[in-house]
Structure 1
């Protein structure tokens, strides 16, 4: 408890990283695709996709936290305080905030609070996550059970670090819907499905320098009950975000990820579908933007409209549900519509 880890390998973001991310995910959000759209939104140039920044920064922590993990279990309180651009260098530190031994005595859960900064020491990423890892001494029970508590949602600040939006060209963004067009309780069934290939996953995870063995070492994983490599859970987050474009085209910014659960494993060859529920519409004192609290459910090998509830009568996730993501996005108001 309290151990602080300075993760090695700061990473400078390149144009190639951005292009590869689009190639791996098919992400289509205009702000991250076009310098011209970014300039219309008040930026000097386009910021990189928030989820790409998460992966590039998060990847620094893997070798120290989850290299030998059994499973990456979840996230909470993820915030994106400062935009990141091509040419910025990101690095990360983590502090252990919780430890819980599993009842079998063979493994336990480690909780960490990680902070990513750019080359100017400005905070670009702040999150908490928990992973299940093996114990060295499987014969001795420690009884340790120090589990942190997490906020249900990330607080919405009065000052949000994006430029004032004067005008949104819907021909460029591809979407007609703005903050006022969404209603609490509404459900969006995103029609596309994306099949994950081993090549996509392997190259993407290498791009993020995420060297967790369960994602790379097929020889090792063949001897496990799973019999094959696991897809990195962050890949599923990226896929779900890319799929959500159809219906949320103008939600260009992720303000926060409130919580996330990887509900079941995903393997090469699985096809990901997703639907999104509008948990809440959050007005803001700024006249140009509002926020939507969303819950995106990703499912494998089953169309999203076939899932009425991601959990069964006992409260357990259905076997085809692979991600339950609670997050908040920023979206322009109707007054900015061109």
Structure 2
């Protein structure tokens, strides 16, 4: 009897199935340093204990996307080890700040199944929750992934496609306990622009670009313990290329967005997300954002809903997302819709 884990295939999932993922992971300060080394991350609330304390927190939390990657990475051996592609996200909410010393684990519930027409693969929807050492939820999100079948003759499950909200309502956003922007130091944060300075429909070109190196993305994939074969095994794809982990593109684009959105301090929800086209080492990633909505969620604190788009190439193509056929343009890598907290 084999003792190795071949990963789940599409026919191994059943509606309502709950999966407890191995292995819990204690987050250390080294995680923050590595995250900031991998990405040009400069948001003040995550960089400075003193700045975070002035904002009412106990210290600088771990970056939201580092928490996301850690929780996500736990799920890969059970959900997407045999994935063709990770397709999208919805209903993501950050429920509690995570600090160095916290231990994170993940659980997922299968909430949707649909076999593809070719009979060789299917789409699996899961709702994943990340918990800390006190079994307190810190993050919850839905994602869907295309997974290979082990046996193409295996019967297809009854199709169930979950009805997912297009956006997390502003009133459902969780504001970290104690957070205040009353004494916010915009000069130290890097930019003077508060939520009132942004208009719905405004498009911001983040100007800068970063070329992805193979070593950086491989280090990131291993840091988050993401074991999906397409990211580290060059023999797994016919073209011999290792696919850049989508979370790597998210974090890179989020870091690039500092130039123009330096005061968008905390991500509190992921409304939707799509990895529009594959990304490979050597691609130069740029980013632009569109302001989709604004809401005041606490005295002096605004939530700004943003569309973050990552592209590859010499120009960021601000505002250009889809072609006349409605499909993503070939150089669009990421389309991420999220809420961030900002001084009002």
Q: Same fold (TM over 0.5)?
A: yes
Shift, 1:167, TM fit: 0.9
Residue 185 of structure 1 is matched in structure 2 by: 201
Task: Give the ranges of 4+ consecutive aligned residues of structure 1 lying more than 4 Å apart after TM superposition.
Answer: none
Number of aligned residue pairs = 328
CA distance in 2, matches of 1:136, 1:313: 37
**SS of corresponding position for 2:23:** coil
Q: Can you list the C-alpha shifts for 1:10-66, whole angstroms capped at 9, x where unaligned?
A: 010011110000011111101111111111111221101001110011110000000
Q: Please say if residues 113 and 125 of structure 2, whose CA atoms lie closer than 8 Å, have aligned partners that are also in contact.
A: yes
CA distance in 1, matches of 2:281, 2:186: 35
Of 119, 123, 128, which aligns to 2:133? Answer: 119
Q: Please say if residues 29 and 252 of structure 1, whose CA atoms lie closer than 8 Å, have aligned partners that are also in contact.
A: yes
TM-score normalised per structure 1: 0.94
Of 207, 211, 226, which aligns to 1:210? Answer: 226
- What's the Cα RMSD here? 1.3
Shift, 1:156, TM fit: 2.3
Indicate yes or no: 2:70 matched with 1:59: no
Q: Please say if residues 19 and 109 of structure 2, whose CA atoms lie closer than 8 Å, have aligned partners that are also in contact.
A: yes
CA distance in 1, matches of 2:326, 2:243: 24
Of 241, 249, 264, which aligns to 2:254? Answer: 241
Q: Please say if residues 105 and 141 of structure 1, whose CA atoms lie closer than 8 Å, have aligned partners that are also in contact.
A: no
Residue 161 of structure 1 is matched in structure 2 by: 176
Unpaired segments of 5 or more residues in structure 1? 334-338
CA distance in 1, matches of 2:165, 2:318: 28
Q: Can you list the C-alpha shifts for 1:108-155, whole angstroms capped at 9, x where unaligned?
A: 001001111101111101000000011122135526321111101112
Residue 320 of structure 2 is matched in structure 1 by: 309
Change (3 A) 1:143 1:68: closer
CA distance in 2, matches of 1:288, 1:120: 31
TM-score normalised per structure 2: 0.93
Shift, 1:169, TM fit: 1.1
Shift, 1:313, TM fit: 0.6
CA distance in 1, matches of 2:311, 2:188: 30
Of 12, 24, 49, which aligns to 1:10? Answer: 24
Residue 336 of structure 1 is matched in structure 2 by: none
Map 1:41-56; keep pairs closer than 5 Å.
41-56=55-70
Q: Please say if residues 302 and 320 of structure 1, whose CA atoms lie closer than 8 Å, have aligned partners that are also in contact.
A: no
